[in-house]
Structure 1
Amino acid sequence: MALSLPGNPDLERFRRDARRLQRGARGGDPQALALVARHHPSRPTAENGEEGGDLTLAEAQLVLARSYGFASWPRLRAYLRRSEGLRRDPAAFAEESADPAADPVDRAARSVPALACLRYDGADEPARWARAAELLERHPDLPERDVFVAATVGDPEILRRHLDRDPRSAARSGGPFDWPPILYLAYSRVPQMDAVDSARMLLDGGADPDTGYLWQGLPTPFSVLTGVFAEGESGPGRQPRHPAWRELALLLLDRGADPNDRQALYNRMFGRDDSHLELLLDHGLGRPAGEVWAERLGIVAESLEEMMRRQLEWAAGHGFAHRTALLAAHGFTLDTVRDAAAAVADPGTHSSPDGRTPLHQAALMGDLDVIRALLQAGADPAAVDEVHGTTPAHWARWARNDEAEQLLREAEARWEPEANRTAYGPGGDGQG
């Protein structure tokens, strides 16, 4: 079972939750009893709920740990202990709240990487990167003053001077997110002088090709490769891949980076492009590798089988026939995979927990070919999702996919609900 935790997990919170579960089970609460029955099968069950009357705190802790994918309460505690020094929450850094009495150049040196880098929350967008570029124009000496800014702008000459002054700076963490320089390079989306040479220099200087951090303490690491491949649930308009993603990924993999990057695979699975998969498969994706992060955390967040099954199920369920075939060619198949073409047979179906339609998903990804195909198949461009109540055009606008938004706006203007159509055309009454 893959691990699943809330953001910024806290042991005291889990202790409170366990006590709450114990009280609920002893009081006959149906939800608490169902959780106990699901994750503590050795306990007897009864129709009247008495099976939870003597639930001990240790048993409640075991049930809670298992509900998050851990084999035991001590395993959960061990993960929290080992992950403490690896967790980061980039969203917690607010450059606007910096001490106004501090030196303006020092404030800018911290703000530039914070604005320039993807941090995987709702703030990711081109306007932030533009603000970082404006600060760099006002303070052109920042890269020379700060190694983390130098990595953010990917300037190998300036990085060389930093490394000559302090050879340990290639691997030392710091800056606004407490990252090593190579992470700022990989997650930066401001123009860079030479990202590949800069990355090579940092790796030669001792940077770890598998370095990363635990986003809000969650167990799947955001590695250097994750930042290079990028994308994710917010779409490529807000979280684009690095401009030199292929060259950087090849360099990292050649230097020993683990190809089984769970977070990178998850982030890139929403779009149809398989170039990242082709590269990773060529370097051993899905096969046992170093599992460096399993050693660091003492546990695997998702097994290789679970990782590849997720990819296969998403591909099969979303009509990604090329991806299904690519994975099959490398020996990865599901026992039963339904016809990928059937995944879009009903283009209007709400196909996700938040009620988005396939057209919403295509709008988020800016996939013009899929948008056109879905519209031609009869998808409703005026459909609204069940969480935000917004149309695919709104999703395209939020994701900064201008061409997709325009296409969907035009489709909305032409759209005629099926109930208003007749055999004589939209809205017609058969009269000459």
Structure 2
Amino acid sequence: MALSLPNNPDLERFRRDARRLHRGVRSADEHALELVVKHHSEGTAAELSGFTLSDAQLVVARSYGFSSWPRLRHYLDIAEPLRRDPTKSPTSEDPVDAYCDLACLQFSQADDPHRWFQARALLADNPELSARSVYAAATAGDRGAVAAHLAADPSLAHREGGPFRWSPLAYLVYSRVPQDDTVGTARLLLDHGADPDTGYLWQGLPPPFTALTGCFGEGEQGPGRSPRHPAGMPLARLLLERGAEPNDGQTLYNRMFNRDDGHLSLLFEYGLGTGDGGVWRHRLGDALESVEEMMGRQVRWARSHGFTDRLALLAEHGFVPKRAGSRGFRAPSIHRAGSVAAVADVVGLGADVDEAQGGRTALHHFAWIGDVEMVQALVDAGANPDVVDATHGTTPLGWAEYGRQPATAALLRPLTAPLSVE
């Protein structure tokens, strides 16, 4: 089930929504009536005076993707203890918490290499941090310090704490500072009972951000701001060997934006696309996409973006895209060119190399994710490096710089005219 919940959802907010909708329907408000028609089985056929608060609650629940008000309430009850908001970690003068905070991905606009440099400097100035806290020790990948903490208290392997209320294993995989012994520290934690499926609901929203999510990185902030863990593949393999669920919706989403399929190949080894979704599906039920829905999203994205190698990999494992009906010739979209060769092919068939999709061109997208080969191919095909996107009003060079992608920025910089300031 695809949900459309607001960040940090809470029951009182939905109660207010229902009361507002109830009043709106009773007063024949146009927007309120449209919601009822869309989400209530009886629409507006019933007398408006008979539209109850329970009816309004049903409409509110369905508008957010739930089949009923009790289902919405049930999700909130389950989600509350799993909710974390890394973007609002409490400010602390304790260097232990500050180190863990600065070192780890938040998957927000705050993610930036500068924070990790600050964390490194903080640890250099306070080398005792790992000895003071198992969470700092895990963040640093300090196997010796973690071993000392576990010798004193083995339950620390799965106890949540630190600035984000994560387990030590979560700090290890979400950390982006240099680590002493990453895989060895992870293995030690797992040997002492750490959960390979440890994770949390980012601002209370599904799907969960799991340990695998931390290993594989990337996502909406791009690979420059939310990079993969340097030891992400061996870490992920270890977690999967120890039973981590391969049907990880957040990982699949975060890594679907670029052409690399290494994560899919590894996850397929351990059962991606099979089973019932594992422990997180059992916890959250229909609030999570089913395995079939999850894989269908991957197929649709790969097809719409011309990722032919990914489509072949998905088809090899039984996930085949549905063929669209033919309605005569139509020039292909440059946004469906998922390889260097495909750029020339679709341009040859009449594709507009500067076509905007979602307000930005293909050159914007590949500059942001740091794909030098695709940026060069688009430029060679005549893409305009001076075009600005509809949301931020900046060039592909601006996207590369924001995404902390020095290679594509270096390629575009001499080709891009300075933006005029009016």
Mapping 1:199-348, distance limit 5 Å = 199-289=186-276, 291-336=278-323, 343-344=336-337, 345-348=351-354
User: For the structure 1 residues 361 and 341, does the alpha-carbon distance in structure 2 shift closer, same or farther, using more than 3 Å as the test?
Assistant: closer
- Aligned: 1:171 with 2:158: yes
- Output the amino acid matched with 1:363: A
Q: What is the number of residues matched between the two proteins?
A: 400
1:87-119 CA-to-partner distances (Å, cap 9, x unmatched) read 00011015xx425xxxxxxx1111001000000
Normalising by structure 1, we get a TM-score of 0.89
1:130 Cα offset (Å): 0.4
Structure 2 unaligned segments of length 5 or more: list them. Answer: 326-331, 338-350
Distance 1:88 1:393 in 2: 34
Name the residue aligned to 1:58: 54
Distance 1:234 1:414 in 2: 24
Name the residue aligned to 1:350: 356
1:357 Cα offset (Å): 1.6
1:337 Cα offset (Å): 5.7
1:32 Cα offset (Å): 2.1
- Aligned: 1:20 with 2:16: no
Structure 1 unaligned segments of length 5 or more: list them. Answer: 100-106, 416-432
Distance 2:362 2:216 in 1: 23
- Output the amino acid matched with 1:343: R
Identity %: 56
Normalising by structure 2, we get a TM-score of 0.91
Distance 2:114 2:226 in 1: 12
Name the residue aligned to 1:379: 383
Name the residue aligned to 1:157: 144
User: For the structure 1 residues 146 and 31, does the alpha-carbon distance in structure 2 shift closer, same or farther, using more than 3 Å as the test?
Assistant: same
User: Are the equivalent residues in 2 in contact too, given 1:258–1:289 (CA < 8 A)?
Assistant: no
Distance 1:337 1:241 in 2: 35
Name the residue aligned to 1:87: 83
- Output the amino acid matched with 1:43: G
User: Are the equivalent residues in 2 in contact too, given 1:317–1:340 (CA < 8 A)?
Assistant: no
1:55 Cα offset (Å): 2.1
Give the one of 122, 125, 140 matched to 2:109. 122
- Output the amino acid matched with 1:371: V
User: For the structure 1 residues 232 and 51, does the alpha-carbon distance in structure 2 shift closer, same or farther, using more than 3 Å as the test?
Assistant: farther
SS in 1 for 2:201: strand
User: For the structure 1 residues 111 and 341, does the alpha-carbon distance in structure 2 shift closer, same or farther, using more than 3 Å as the test?
Assistant: same
Q: CA RMSD in A?
A: 1.9
- Aligned: 1:408 with 2:412: yes
Name the residue aligned to 1:423: none
1:36-55 CA-to-partner distances (Å, cap 9, x unmatched) read 1121133345xxxx865532
SS in 2 for 1:299: helix
SS in 2 for 1:259: coil
Distance 2:389 2:177 in 1: 33
SS in 1 for 2:247: coil
Distance 1:67 1:295 in 2: 23
Name the residue aligned to 2:99: 112
Distance 2:47 2:210 in 1: 45
Distance 1:26 1:251 in 2: 58
1:412 Cα offset (Å): 2.0
Name the residue aligned to 2:42: 42
Give the one of 107, 122, 144 matched to 1:135. 122
Give the one of 386, 394, 401 matched to 1:397. 401
User: Are the equivalent residues in 2 in contact too, given 1:316–1:340 (CA < 8 A)?
Assistant: no
User: For the structure 1 residues 161 and 361, does the alpha-carbon distance in structure 2 shift closer, same or farther, using more than 3 Å as the test?
Assistant: same
User: Are the equivalent residues in 1 in contact too, given 2:216–2:255 (CA < 8 A)?
Assistant: yes
Distance 1:371 1:243 in 2: 24
